[in-house]
Structure 1
Amino acid sequence: MYSIPQLQDLINKQIAESRYPSAPDELYEPIRYIMSLGGKRMRPVLLLMACDLFDGSIIKALDPAVAIEVFHNFTLLHDDIMDKAPLRRGKQTVHTKWNDSVAILSGDVMLVKAYELIARVDDKILREVLSIFNNTATGVCEGQQTDMNFEALDSVTVQEYLEMIRLKTAVLLAGSLKIGALIGNASPEDAEHLYTFGENLGLAFQLQDDLLDVYGNPEKFGKQVGGDILANKKTFLLIKALELAENLEEEELHYWLNEENADPETKVRSVTDIYNRLGVRQLADEQMNEFAEKALSALEKVNAGDDKKKALRHFAEELLVREN
């Protein structure tokens, strides 16, 4: 059984050894740049762990695992343009370092490269793996568009929000696990159980992200705390607060959502205080734990050794017990 750091090292080595043409430099250098920025490599690690769960060949799974990471970074390249984000993992985003056109075109090539790598699976599972990858990629795009649509809506329900994060975040974790399971020769039932595990884990992970954005320690979280509040982003916390707020809290919340010249620190502090009074942090925690329990329940149904499933349980726990 491989450890998580061992799998991360394998993926990083494979990415570092990836070769792209030297010209045109403006097309390929941004790909080398964004792929070198690192990260936890969570999605490809899950693919390799799923393969290892059934004693499959990690070597055979490496190219598809890197494909998942290339695809994920392709989505980040385009998301950063849409969000006008200046930084990614503490470094300049590609569209900032170069320009929007370069970022779009380099991202397009990354999608092609992801397909090239994913197609290296054994022929007997190629059609099924491509089907999972296609459905996953489409879901991620649908989730991103839905998230953008939310910006123009006055009202979004919790269920609509959960469906959006299922598509935008959770299906890529789920798809990675299912592809890894198929490469490892898992049964269709076990592959589906792992998909359910990943989907619920992804939902719990995004809710944890919502909580950390408000209540996290910025030094440990790695992002600006309160960024979602400043952007009036429709997270679980804000949607639930709008649903529960009455009288004074409702008036205060709408004031901060509509005040264009608010002092950032005051706005974050005031909205966080409203969240505390309404108890939405606890509600988000409860919803997150519900998804985490569903994930672990699905993992228990997988027909594999307890020692190997223990590694995935540990991965899930580490993912959901981030510092705050």
Structure 2
Amino acid sequence: MIKPEQLLQALQIEFEKQSYGEHPIELYEPIRYIMSLGGKRFRPLLTLLAASIYSDDWENAIKPAMAVEVFHNFTLMHDDIMDQAPLRRGKPTVHEKWNANTAILSGDVMLIKAYDLLLDIPAEKFRRVLERFNKTAAEVCEGQQLDMNFETRWDVTEEEYLGMIRLKTSVLLGFALELGGIIGGADEESIQLLYSAGENMGIGFQLKDDLLDVYGDPDKFGKQVGGDIISNKKTFLLIEALSKADSNSKTELDKWIGLENFDKQEKVAGVTAIYEELGIRAFTEQKIQEYFTKGLSSLHALKIDERRKKPLLQFAEQLVEREK
């Protein structure tokens, strides 16, 4: 039985060997830089885990899995420009280390390189994968646009927010699992179950990220706890608080949102207290569990030997329990 650690090691070896281009260096060095920052790499790992369920030749899925990760990092490079983010994984973002124009162009090349990495897919499966990849890529961009639209709105509903994170985050997880199934030779029902599993777990994953930003352990979370509160980012928690607040809570919440000069720790403590008063943490945890349960149910429904899908199930359960 293949272990996730073995698959991650195989991915790391291939990423270290990968050449994105050489000249001009200003175009390709930023790509090597952002890819060297690592990250969780769980999207390509999901592709390999799904492929390994249906085929012992999971190595055939390595380059397509890498395409998922290169595409993901391309979106991060461009998102960081739009968000004016100074750091990515604790290091300067590409547009800070170089400049915005370089980050835009290098990101464009990353998208092209993602397509290159899909070229090893067998001809009989290539068109389907390409159509699904293109649809997923467009949906991720739609999600990012909705996220930017929400920045100027204070009437965003729970349904709208869940729809946005489905596009921005979870469809790529769905595609990652679907891709592994297609390459591994899964039947049509299984491919659909894999996509559904990734899509639902992706929503749960983003909601967990929203929750950890407020309630995570700073030593484990890896970034500033309360950052979303400080920046008035419209997370699931804030949207629910605005929806559920009575007049007193709403007045207090509006006060913190409207302040331009404030003590960061005081604001985080003040808004967190409102969340506690309104039961937002428990409600968010319930919603997270709901989506992860849906995702795991789809994996359990796969009609395949339990031993073959055990590594994927175990890894999915780790995502549920993550603290960073």
TM class by smaller structure? over 0.9
Distance 1:170 1:142 in 2: 12
Distance 2:304 2:135 in 1: 26
Matches within 5 A, 1:37-116: 37-116=37-116
Deviates more, 1:294-303 or 1:65-74: 294-303
Distance 1:309 1:147 in 2: 35
AA in 2 matched with 1:151: E
Partner of 2:118: 118
Distance 2:124 2:321 in 1: 39
CA RMSD of aligned residues (A): 1.0
What displacement does 1:56 show? 4.7
AA in 2 matched with 1:65: A
Listed one character per residue, the Cα deviations across residues 188-214 of structure 1 (whole Å, up to 9, x for unaligned) are 110000000000110111111011000
TM-score (norm 2): 0.98
Asked if the contact 2:20/2:113 (under 8 Å) is kept, the reply is no
Distance 1:60 1:294 in 2: 29
AA in 2 matched with 1:66: M
Listed one character per residue, the Cα deviations across residues 222-247 of structure 1 (whole Å, up to 9, x for unaligned) are 11100111111111110110011012
Listed one character per residue, the Cα deviations across residues 133-153 of structure 1 (whole Å, up to 9, x for unaligned) are 011101110111101100011
Distance 1:56 1:128 in 2: 22
What displacement does 1:281 show? 0.4
Asked if the contact 1:173/1:202 (under 8 Å) is kept, the reply is yes
What displacement does 1:290 show? 0.6
AA in 1 matched with 2:257: L
AA in 2 matched with 1:156: V
Matches within 5 A, 1:293-308: 293-308=293-308
Asked if the contact 1:56/1:183 (under 8 Å) is kept, the reply is no
AA in 2 matched with 1:92: P
What displacement does 1:314 show? 1.2
Distance 1:169 1:60 in 2: 25
What displacement does 1:323 show? 2.6
Partner of 2:16: 16
Partner of 1:203: 203
Asked if the contact 2:43/2:68 (under 8 Å) is kept, the reply is yes
Would you say 1:273 and 2:273 are equivalent positions? yes
TM-score (norm 1): 0.98
Unaligned runs of 5+ in 2: none
The DSSP-based 3-state class of the residue aligned with 2:40 is: coil
Distance 1:229 1:312 in 2: 34
What displacement does 1:319 show? 1.0
Number of corresponding residues: 324
Distance 2:22 2:130 in 1: 29
Percent identity for Structure 1 against Structure 2: 54
What displacement does 1:47 show? 0.3
Distance 1:202 1:267 in 2: 29
Distance 2:33 2:59 in 1: 25
Distance 1:172 1:323 in 2: 21
Would you say 1:159 and 2:159 are equivalent positions? yes
Listed one character per residue, the Cα deviations across residues 5-47 of structure 1 (whole Å, up to 9, x for unaligned) are 1111111110100113321000001111111111121000000
Partner of 2:182: 182
